[in-house]
Amino acid sequence: MDLIVVCSLIFTAVFLFVLGVDTLRTSKGNIIASRINQVTGKKADADKNINNNHNGNQLFRKFLARAGSISITRRLGRKIDKKLEEADILLHGGEFIVIIVCIAIATTIMIFTLTLKPLTSLVLGAVSVVIPLFIVESTRNKRLVDFNAQISDALTIMSNSLRSGFSFVQSMDMVRKELPNPIKKEFDRTITEVNLGTPIEDALNNLSKRVNSDDLELVITAVLIQRQVGGNLAEVLDNIGGAIRERIRIKREIKTLTAQGRISGVIIGLLPIFLAVFMLTANPGYILELFTNRVGLIMLTLAVLGQFIGLIVIKKIVDIKF
């Protein structure tokens, strides 16, 4: 109990200290900016910036930036930077690590306040770390699926634009104008890189690294080869677009055939949760023994790990790659 209270007080003190120092630095910067903008005739913009800098969201964002720049959080964050970029989440890895730590501490304090059980609080606080990681992975996968679904339409637009006399970059600009996100945002970033002087080859390779799509990598490889050896790029894009559409059709057919296995995985994963809620409602004293007893906590931990392993195995079985 004492350890949790001390850790909570230390975390709160560090948070308030960083917040206070940053507020003082921001206030000093606002005074200087205000004086400069008065001379340049931009007083209204300066006042607007001062108000925005005192907004709670701005302060929290700056706290994340400060805490995320610490060496240990920055090192840990490098491992998740790529996934955050692929999920289009505007956070650095270090900032995301800070959010995870804050969630774990807040969950631990909340559970301890409700149950007064240090071990239970620590276990559930550790489990809460999985939630942000799951959200990032789900967002990343959904964005990748949406992007892959747009590639065939993008190739059709690009091939028609090339036949109409547009350049390759102009055909990408047509895709950016015609299609929604996520392909709109990624193509817009690539076009911006080219306009700022980045070679088209490097810009396309950067696009492939950001999205991490096999279909897009196939397209970019074909484009780069065509730029070296020549040929009818519009016809190449049409052929690749047809192949991608066929792959999408086969994937949807496989998804239909494996629907039973995926539903079984969902039921197996949710059934223990519903049973726990039912027991907690019908006979709370019976199930609370699992949370108040050391052996019960060990059993719960092993059960949760077993559930995750089972879900991963089922996912691997129904996830057919070709």
Q: What confidence tens digit (pLDDT) does each residue in 162-203 have? A: 999 999 999 999 999 999 999 999 999 999 999 999 999 999
Per the CB < 8 A criterion, the answer to whether 239 and 164 are in contact is: no
Share of the chain above pLDDT 70, in %: 75
Q: What is the DSSP letter of 293?
A: S
Do 121 and 146 belong together in one domain? Answer: no
Does the pTM exceed 0.85? no
Q: Is residue 134 part of a domain?
A: no
Do 159 and 250 belong together in one domain? Answer: yes
Do 237 and 124 belong together in one domain? Answer: no
Q: Over 70: is that where the pLDDT of 27 sits?
A: no
Query: Scanning the structure block, which residue is given the tokens 């036949």?
Result: 163
Instruction: For residue range 106-145, list pLDDT tens digits in order.
Output: 888 888 887 777 777 787 888 888 888 889 999 999 999 9
Q: Is residue 133 part of a domain?
A: no
CA atoms within 13 A on the CB side of 13: 6
Do 9 and 88 belong together in one domain? Answer: yes
How far is residue 314's CA from residue 265's CA, in Å, rounded to a whole number? 6
Q: Over 90: is that where the pLDDT of 234 sits?
A: yes
Do 42 and 91 belong together in one domain? Answer: yes
Lowest mean pLDDT among 63-67, 248-252, 294-298, 310-314: 63-67
The number of angstroms, rounded, from the C-alpha of 319 to the middle of its chain's C-alpha atoms is: 21
Q: What is the pLDDT of residue 7?
A: 61
Do 60 and 21 belong together in one domain? Answer: yes
Q: What is the pLDDT of residue 3?
A: 60
Q: Is residue 229 part of a domain?
A: yes
Q: What is the pLDDT of residue 50?
A: 40
Question: CB neighbours (10 Å) of residue 97?
Answer: 24
Q: Is residue 283 part of a domain?
A: yes
Do 244 and 295 belong together in one domain? Answer: no
Extract long-range pairs of 295-302: CB within 8 Å, 24+ residues apart.
297/119, 297/120, 297/123, 300/123, 301/123
Q: Which domain holds residue 124?
A: 2-128
Q: Which residues contact 237 (CB under 8 A, 6 or more apart)?
A: 155, 158, 159, 162, 219, 222
Q: Over 90: is that where the pLDDT of 102 sits?
A: no
CA atoms within 13 A on the CB side of 243: 12
Q: What is the pLDDT of residue 73?
A: 61
